[in-house]
Structure 1
């Protein structure tokens, strides 16, 4: 069997797996941000599997260039996918779409006009370095956000999916840059296709082992108010004591006001392992993300301050900072996500009702 036949078979297998994955997610999770971004990532990876040619020096045809552009834009989707996968509250903005369009358009222009003008290699390097920038952003996002995830069953799967995608993307970029025009490119293409097929198969298998609703939560599942710890059923005595101690830290010490409070520092204060506190907040209090847990306590304090007639002249930003938020923008977004109105509108409604 020739290298070309093996390469084609591996690419076909990858495309088939990704189509099945995309169809499944479209059926069940098309209303979830993470689900839609996963579908987009799968389709972009299909474009990559079809068009990837390590070391090729042949001119790009007009039908080939749009697929290459989609493949390059997939690096932006990977970055957004990483954010959504690690943050249930993430909502893409209009400028995210603009960045994706700009990267894809540049890739198309590079294929059709820039590469022929500069004899290929500089254009290949520029496009792949651009993709590498978004891969680095995705790595940084993973490092920053992963510890805040409270759902134990999905944490390992998430880090595996992101690590596999980032590892392959990084290696592919380096191969594209280093093997351009070399005679051993055919072997590199087969190896690249085999790695991609193996990773896609492993990710699909791993996703089958986890409840998909944990991985792709519906928007309605977001926590919008503070649960009542006393109403939680089935708590063991030890867990209930920990819940009480945790809520005392929140209500009496208002520890959520502290700068750079993390689940690790909170676990140290309670004298328990971090994994146990993560499980406690998730399974006993119903939160999926540590930052949401903190922000909801901060918002409850802000709501009380905004409704207090004696603080009617206190600026909104002062109330936000006193509650533990670092700036006004995140406070406004989090407040509106919980209450449905901005802090200023909330204050006015409470004043009118008084």
Structure 2
């Protein structure tokens, strides 16, 4: 088979698989931000599959330029997708939309203005350096929040998903930069298309084997209470009884010693205090208490303490930031966001409401 035909076949297969993924995710997870971002990423990847040309230096046509811009801006979606995947409470804000529009607009200007004016090499290098920057941001998000994930299956699955996507994004950008101006390479395009199909296929296979719900499910914590499933199995001996005792020990430890107040407290340190392996504590907090993220577990205790302090008439004159710091938060911004996510109001509004009700 000629390389050109093989290239087209690989691209077509990747696009078809991406379309199936987008439809499946839209049906099952269209109401969740992580699911929506996954759909947008699939569509951006399909645009990339249609338009990439390793080594090519010709200015794109007016019809192709929007697709190239969507493909370029997909790297912003990858960054946001990683944030949503690793932080169950993340929701995109208007600023993220502006960043996407800025990258999209820059790519459009590059295609329609800078490229035709003889700056194709500069355009390709600039766009791919931009892509590498967002790949770095996504990788930083992956590494930074890896340790706080409590869902074992999700930790394994999204490692494959993210590393594969980041690996392809980085390799593609480097190929584009390294071969710019050297003439379109059929072999390089075939290799790139095969890599893209392999990544998409790996993601689809993992989601089929594990289920999208395990990766994208919304956190439903039951603060310091045994889950319904555990309660229904309370008559079982062995692990269920041991887990319930561990939950009681964990509850006492958090209530009596208030470990959540400590700076940079880790799940490993907490497991050491309980005398159990870290993986078992992850499973305990996830399956018995309903938390998918260790930071959410800690913040639930911090918010509870802050609520009590804000409702206490004796602390009416204590600044909100002091209450936040005493509860274990390191700055006011994260405290305000976490507090509003739990209560629906800001700390100041909560204090005012409780004062009015008294």
What runs of 5+ residues in structure 2 fail to find an aligned partner?
Answer: 235-239
Q: Mapping of 1:283-302 within 5 angstroms?
A: 283-302=287-306
Task: Select the residue among 317, 331, 336 that pairs with 2:335.
Answer: 331
1:128 aligns with 2:131: no
CA distance in 2 between counterparts of 1:183 and 1:122 reads: 15
Task: Select the residue among 237, 240, 244 that pairs with 2:241.
Answer: 237
How far off its partner does 1:253 sit? 0.4
How far off its partner does 1:113 sit? 1.5
Q: Show structure 1 runs of 4+ deviating over 2 A.
A: 115-119, 181-184, 227-232, 234-238
How far off its partner does 1:240 sit? 2.3
What residue in structure 1 maps to residue 237 of structure 2? none
1:271 aligns with 2:268: no
The answer on whether the counterparts of 2:54 and 2:184 sit within 8 Å (CA) in structure 1 is: no
Any idea what SS the aligned residue of 2:59 has?
coil
CA distance in 1 between counterparts of 2:269 and 2:344 reads: 31
How far off its partner does 1:24 sit? 1.0
Instruction: Indicate how the Cα distance of structure 1 residues 70 and 184 shifts in structure 2: closer, same or farther if over 3 A, else same.
Output: closer
The answer on whether the counterparts of 1:89 and 1:222 sit within 8 Å (CA) in structure 2 is: no
CA distance in 1 between counterparts of 2:136 and 2:119 reads: 28
How far off its partner does 1:230 sit? 9.5
Q: CA offsets, 1:268-317, max 9 Å, x none? A: 22222111110000001111111000000000000110111100111111
Task: Select the residue among 328, 337, 354 that pairs with 1:350.
Answer: 354
What residue in structure 1 maps to residue 224 of structure 2? 227
Any idea what SS the aligned residue of 2:66 has?
helix
CA distance in 1 between counterparts of 2:257 and 2:119 reads: 65
How far off its partner does 1:241 sit? 2.5
What residue in structure 2 maps to residue 303 of structure 1? 307
CA distance in 2 between counterparts of 1:119 and 1:135 reads: 24
What residue in structure 2 maps to residue 115 of structure 1? 115
CA distance in 1 between counterparts of 2:54 and 2:227 reads: 60
1:45 aligns with 2:45: yes
Q: CA offsets, 1:244-265, max 9 Å, x none? A: 2211221000000000011111
1:164 aligns with 2:164: yes
The answer on whether the counterparts of 1:88 and 1:222 sit within 8 Å (CA) in structure 2 is: no
Could you say what the CA RMSD is over the residues aligned between the two structures, in angstroms? 1.5
Q: Which 10-residue stretch deviates more, 207-216 or 76-85?
A: 207-216
The TM-score, its normalising length taken from structure 2, stands at 0.95
The TM-score, its normalising length taken from structure 1, stands at 0.96
1:176 aligns with 2:180: no
What residue in structure 2 maps to residue 145 of structure 1? 145
Any idea what SS the aligned residue of 2:145 has?
helix
Q: CA offsets, 1:105-142, max 9 Å, x none? A: 10111112212334421221111001110000000000
How far off its partner does 1:226 sit? 1.7
What residue in structure 2 maps to residue 103 of structure 1? 103
What runs of 5+ residues in structure 1 fail to find an aligned partner?
Answer: none
How far off its partner does 1:183 sit? 5.2
What residue in structure 2 maps to residue 91 of structure 1? 91
CA distance in 2 between counterparts of 1:118 and 1:308 reads: 68
CA distance in 2 between counterparts of 1:186 and 1:270 reads: 59
CA distance in 2 between counterparts of 1:51 and 1:141 reads: 28
The answer on whether the counterparts of 1:239 and 1:280 sit within 8 Å (CA) in structure 2 is: yes
CA distance in 2 between counterparts of 1:106 and 1:211 reads: 37
Any idea what SS the aligned residue of 2:217 has?
coil
Task: Select the residue among 314, 319, 324 that pairs with 1:320.
Answer: 324
Any idea what SS the aligned residue of 2:61 has?
coil
What residue in structure 2 maps to residue 252 of structure 1? 256
